[in-house]
Chains A and B, each alone.
Chain A
Amino acid sequence: MLLEVKGLCVNYGRIEAIRDISFTVEEGEIVTLIGANGAGKTTTMKTISGLRPVRAGTVTFNGEDITHMPSHERPVLGISQSPEGRGCFIGMSVMENLEMGTYARADRKSKAVKDDLDRVFELFPRLKERTNQAAGSMSGGEQQMLAMGRALMAKPKLLLLDEPSMGLAPKLIKQIFDIVTEINSQGTTVLLVEQNAAQALKRSHRAYILETGEIVREGTGMALAADPAVKAAYLGGDV
């Protein structure tokens, strides 16, 4: 088991953002958390990266308890996140953003970094054309690619993608999901958070459905996509 979340509770002040949620991610999987706005998806992702303090429960990564580990130490273990809203360093160039992705790597000066850069450029040819452009001057889709490329530059074991399709045109959404599948097939485990349930379920091995801070359903992507209740709630007007 690569990631195990057990009985996790996280508060924002006095408000319970997530309540007693448990889920696992096996090595090699794409696992998706699906839910409406405010269901606690982003809180879960931020907590796995250490940006939110845990009130109760545990987070275990690769057998190590990381529940209270400082956020900046987690990329060293192999956890890398492309956050909601992309979080690109808008004043830095595309290249500098990608280099920031290698910040925590012990081998950041070796040739391996160059290979990873080539791989990122292969996945996102757009970035290669714009290495010197300021990240802030790029379109939303390009910034999404940059955020994902930057996360990949950390050479993660587990890639966390928080709403990669947010605010993108349908055609671009499909492209982003194709790339997620490609990244996974190259050997990176992916934990995905999505509102775009149709696409996400189709692509994932397994999924969990979050409602108001609790997991209400789980199963394989296929099974959930076929489930009438899920269809009614999440796939209604979707692509």
Chain B
Amino acid sequence: MQFLIDNFAALTVTGLAIGAVYSLIALGYTFVYGVLRLINFAHSEVFMYGSFAAVWVVMVIGGHPGGSIGQVIFWVALMFVAAMAMSGLVAVLIERVAYRPLRKRNAPPLIALISAIGASFVLSETMGLREKIAGWFGLDDTLRPYVNNSRNNVPLPSIIKPQGVFSIQGYEVTNVDIFVIVGAIAMMIMLDQFVSRSRLGRGIRAVAMDPEAAALMGVNRDRVIRVTFLVGGVMAGAAAVFYLLKIGSTRYDVGFILGVKAFTAAVLGGIGNLRGALLGGIVLGLAENYGSALVGTEWKDVVAFVLLVVILLFRPTGLLGESLGKARA
């Protein structure tokens, strides 16, 4: 208890930062669920591919420690572009290959779930075996820096040195902490605006609320679904950059535990509800940190899931309740 009190500020800041990452990933789960009533279990890999794209682009352009401010901004901007493009692409591909054919044949939801889990494994292992795959094409030497140790951690070249900006309770809040928290919240506000104001955003909400009535208005459901996957993917790509800046490395199976956490955050906030995903991620990130300060870091994941179960016992539809439509984004 004393440890929690002494380190409350530090735990809060890091909890918010990681919680913001959970939130951004959770958006993808909740968004797709809202429109398709389907948990896209392959969404964790969408995040993972984005994280690799971000690391690789920094390697390609030769990002290094001690760059000027201008360089650092350029590198980080490139990370965002690469990660968001890659994640968006992977998300749309998953929809095209793993879900749409099943939907066209009116497959029951359980089949789509299996397809989702399958897609998740295929994507994750493809990344984990990239050295072998490059070898098939004789490219393993050319691509050596990118495919080496394909089952181990891949560090992001340290392009930003975290610097304390101000301190509370003896904890130095760094520029990276602030960037991650503010940046993630800015992304979520943009998404919220897109969904509540733009024509396509309204189309998405309409399909989520009543697919048949939406079709009667002229909303193309397939297009809405594609956009939903794309937007969820882009958000996961942004999350991947924030995650890399905070944590510093990625791995072919990084999506697994993060995906489960983000899914938990989505359910916690109320699946299908965008603001719920935001709240769920933050609550989960904070609770994990406070909980592990109380009972020990090794209990972090236990704390997270006990929290989920307890909250769902009292609020079975999550903190803010279900439905993409009702929550006005």
Contacts and interface: CB of A to CB of B under 8 A. Distances in A.
Interface of A: 46, 49-51, 70-76, 80-81, 83, 87-92, 96, 99-101, 103-104, 136, 150-151, 154
B249 interface: no
28 contacts: A49-B216, A51-B212, A51-B215, A72-B218, A75-B217, A75-B218, A76-B218, A80-B216, A83-B212, A87-B216, A88-B213, A89-B205, A89-B209, A89-B213, A90-B209, A91-B205, A91-B209, A91-B327, A92-B202, A92-B206, A92-B325, A100-B206, A100-B217, A103-B199, A103-B202, A103-B206, A151-B216, A154-B217
A83 B213 contact: yes
A89 B218 contact: no
A87 B210 contact: yes
B216 A90 contact: no
B203 A103 contact: yes
A92 B206 CA distance: 9
Contacts of B234: none
Contacts of B315: none
Given A72-B221, A89-B210, A89-B213, 19 more contacts: A46-B212, A50-B215, A71-B215, A73-B218, A75-B217, A75-B218, A83-B216, A87-B210, A88-B213, A89-B206, A89-B214, A89-B325, A90-B326, A91-B205, A92-B202, A92-B206, A100-B202, A103-B219, A136-B326
A90 B311 CA distance: 27
A151 B213 CA distance: 10
Interface of B: 199, 202-203, 205-206, 209-210, 212-221, 323-328
A89 B217 CA distance: 11
B215 A91 contact: no
Contact of A103 (B212, B217, B324, B325): B217
A91 B216 contact: no
A212 to B, nearest CB: 24
Contacts of A150: 217
Given A91-B323, A91-B326, A96-B202, A81 B209 contact: no
Contacts of A99: 202
A101 B219 CA distance: 10
Contact of B213 (A73, A76, A87, A96): A87
Given A100-B217, A101-B217, A87 B212 contact: yes
Contact of A71 (B209, B210, B216): B216
A72 B220 contact: yes
Nearest to A82: B216
A50 B217 CA distance: 12
Q: Which of B221, B323, B325: most chain A CB closer than 10 A?
A: B325
Contacts of B214: 89, 100
A75 B216 CA distance: 7
A72 B209 contact: no
A35 B119 CA distance: 49
Nearest to B324: A91
Contacts of B206: 89, 92, 100, 103
Contacts of A51: 212, 215-216
Nearest to A151: B216
A72 B205 contact: no
A237 B222 CA distance: 46
A178 B221 CA distance: 35
Contacts of A80: 216
Contacts of B220: 70, 72
Nearest to B224: A72
A212 B62 CA distance: 73
A46 B213 CA distance: 10
A96 B197 CA distance: 10
Contact of B218 (A46, A90, A104, A136): A104
B202 to A, nearest CB: 6
- Identify the interface centre among A90, A96, A103: most chain B CB within 10 Å of its CB: A103
Given A89-B205, A89-B210, A90-B209, A72 B325 contact: no
A214 to B, nearest CB: 25
Contacts of B328: 91
A137 to B, nearest CB: 11
A42 to B, nearest CB: 11
A139 to B, nearest CB: 19
Contacts of A88: 213
A151 B218 CA distance: 11
